[in-house]
Amino acid sequence: MTDDGRPVVAGDGAEGGGAAEGPGAGTGTGAQRLAALSDGVFAIAMTLLVLDVSVPAGLDDAAFREALGDTLPNLAAYALSFAVIAQFWREHRHILDATPTVDGAVTGLALLGLALVALLPFPTALLAEYTDQSLAVAVYSATVAATNAAHVALMAAIQRRIVSDGRPAGATPPGATAEGAAAEGATPEPTTAKGAGAAAGAGAAEASAQVRERSVDAGTTALVFGLATPLAFLSPAAAMWFWLTLIPLNVTIGRRQRRRRE
């Protein structure tokens, strides 16, 4: 609150709309609000996916069984898109938790990713109803690829912010006192300048490495679905089978990342 009773608005006193929010933004202000908005968008998108799964009322036994069988493509498309959105949400929360400050680039890329997530129920419905149509498979592949590409760009922006600030989210900013850091929601580091700098640098390096690892996962998904987009015009079935290459690729990448950390 200000002296005259007005609530403090993030960005007050900063020059321009693209200025980064101050220390502790990663845990208490900008990133937290962005994460809350993201949770809402993800929840709505996940809910919209299931609206295409329905069976008409008033059917006799034979018609009911036929209608129930007709929902299988819808259920398959729902399960696939739910898994895509759930993974995207999980990664999204992790990287937002890692950013020490939120600037215009981070906000813009996050909103772009959320816009693509909100769009995903539409290509999911196309895929469920027109599985054998090249354009439907291509539109779905392109949407998933674009969503993950936006996610990779967001992670690159957050990684630059971590390196620029020289600290992960929640760490004491360089030159800040422990009391000031605690008041802003940051974690107090050693009181000596040398100790604080070393701890912040180590934390920034670790956070940056984690974001880089997650960007490899998202980049792999963007690559696979991106390659599947033109493939769909040659064979929709081949494009959908090509999506499955993500399974061995993710397993291999995960093993290499674990060995590197060890």
pLDDT in tens, 111-158: 999 999 999 999 999 999 999 999 999 999 999 999 999 999 998 888
pLDDT-based confidence at 167, cuts 50/70/90?
low
pTM of the model: 0.74
Q: Which helix (H) or strand (E) holds 250?
A: helix 246-261
**C-beta of residue 220 within 8 angstroms of C-beta of residue 249:** yes
List the chain domain ranges: 25-261
Residue 236 gets which letter from DSSP? H
**C-beta of residue 147 within 8 angstroms of C-beta of residue 109:** no
Calculate mean pLDDT across residues 180-197: 49
SS3 label, residue 81? helix
Provide the token pair at 102.
Answer: 């939120």
Provide the token pair at 144.
Answer: 């998933």
Model confidence at 27: pLDDT above 50: no
